Amino acid sequence: MSAAPAPVPVSAPASAPAPVALDVREVAVHFSGLVAIASMSFRVPEGEIVSLIGPNGAGKTTAFNVITGFLKPTRGTVLCGGSDLTRLTPERIAALGVVRTFQRTSIFAGCTVLENVLTGLHRRGRTETLAALLRLPGVRAETQRLRATAAEILAFVGLAHRDGELAANLSYGEQRLLGIAIALAADPRLLLLDEPAAGLNPSETEAFMGVVRGIRDRGVTVLLVEHDMRMVMTISDRVVVLNHGRIIAEGRPEAVQSDPEVIRAYLGQGVRHAQG
Ligand SMILES: Nc1ncnc2c1ncn2[C@@H]1O[C@H](COP(=O)(O)OP(=O)(O)OP(=O)(O)O)[C@@H](O)[C@H]1O
Ligand SMILES: [Mg+2]
């Protein structure tokens, strides 16, 4: 009973680290005088929902802009599948399967719901679009395949019944879901969601949580920025807490939630945010 446990071999499967979808290493972002991110390192394990939380201005959207190539960091690297994303264009990064939604919805209001998703599907491969332009043989079948895929994505997010509606006529909550559907159309391996539940009522948020879990269950890794703490603490596998451009805590939701520094820096305010 008192014998010391045998040392676990380094190669034991139980101790093998999960494959990493994203490895953010010592990223810093300075905007002239302002330090938006002082130094940030964290990993997103494959197949998990990881949330990046923190007060307004903490640097969350800036981190998303760096990961997706919209902003070159002052320092640091972002590794994904052997590539350093800080050296690639947003288009190349999206082609690698790193896809984002924006803090404010970006949908084509004058197009139907289905057309919005089709637009996202066309971003998957230039050849499909080119073939359509040149009216090459097989385009009709290809068009039907794309429409079927779009319909499947709409069913997944719960918007199948709205497919022919103009996007402008959707409720705010439905527009947020359409934003997710457009992002899914780009076939992400890693999906970055910037405040997807902002402005949603509790029942819409509940439905949204189911969609985000469903995305993870399809094998897509999710990096989530969200102020709704109930959503974050319920669906996240890991939580990373940013404050003034620095990571002050990271770990399982239960551990982060009870971390005194996190409570001091954010969660007190987070409760006000959620009520306000
Ligand atoms: N393009 C920019 N030029 C100058 N400063 C910027 C720029 N983008 C962001 N900042 C500043 O960097 C800091 C981090 O901003 P960021 O938008 O990343 O915060 P956030 O954590 O996403 O906040 P929120 O929760 O309000 O969305 C803020 O002080 C912001 O004003
Ligand atoms: Mg933001």
69: enclosing H helix or E strand: none
Q: Mean pLDDT in each 10-residue stretch from start to end of the chain (276 residues)?
A: 51 67 98 95 97 95 97 98 96 93 82 94 61 66 88 97 97 94 94 93 94 96 95 97 96 95 79 40
Residues with CB under 5 A from ligand 2 (ion): 60-61
CA–centroid distance, 266 to ligand 1, in Å, is: 16
Neighbours of 15 (CB within 10 A): 9
Comparing C-alpha atoms, which of 261, 185, 240, 173 is closest to residue 209?
173
Q: What pLDDT is recorded for position 33?
A: 86
Let me know if 130 is exposed, middle or buried by CB neighbors in 10 A (0-12, 13-18, 19+).
exposed
Nearest to 49 by CA among 9, 22, 89, 81: 22
Domains of the chain: 18-97+189-201+220-276 (3.40.50.300), 107-187 (no CATH)
pLDDT at residue 268, rounded to an integer? 73
- Which ligand 1 atom lies nearest to the CA of residue 195? 27
End-to-end CA distance of the chain: 56
- pTM for this model (two decimals): 0.87
pLDDT of residue 135: 65
Question: Does any ligand 1 atom lie closer than 6 A to the CB of residue 270?
Answer: no
Q: Whose CA is nearest to atom 31 of ligand 1?
A: 57
What pLDDT, in 10s, does the model give residues 19-30? 999 999 999 999
Q: How far apart are alpha carbons 267 and 272 in whole angstroms?
A: 9
In this predicted structure, what is the pLDDT of residue 2?
Answer: 46
9 CA from centroid of ligand 2 (Å): 43
Residue 213 — φ and ψ, nearest 5°?
A: -60, -40
* Closest-lying ligand 1 atom to the alpha carbon of residue 62: 18
Q: How far is the CA of 202 from the centre of ligand 1 (A)?
A: 27
Q: How many secondary structure helices (H) and strands (E) does the chain include?
A: 11, 10
- Provide the pLDDT for residue 271: 44
Q: What are the angstrom distances between the C-alpha of 258 and each of 212, 252, 270? A: 24, 10, 14
Q: Count CB neighbours of 150 within 10 A.
A: 24
Please name which of 255, 251, 212, 262 lies closest in space to residue 235, comparing C-alpha atoms: 212
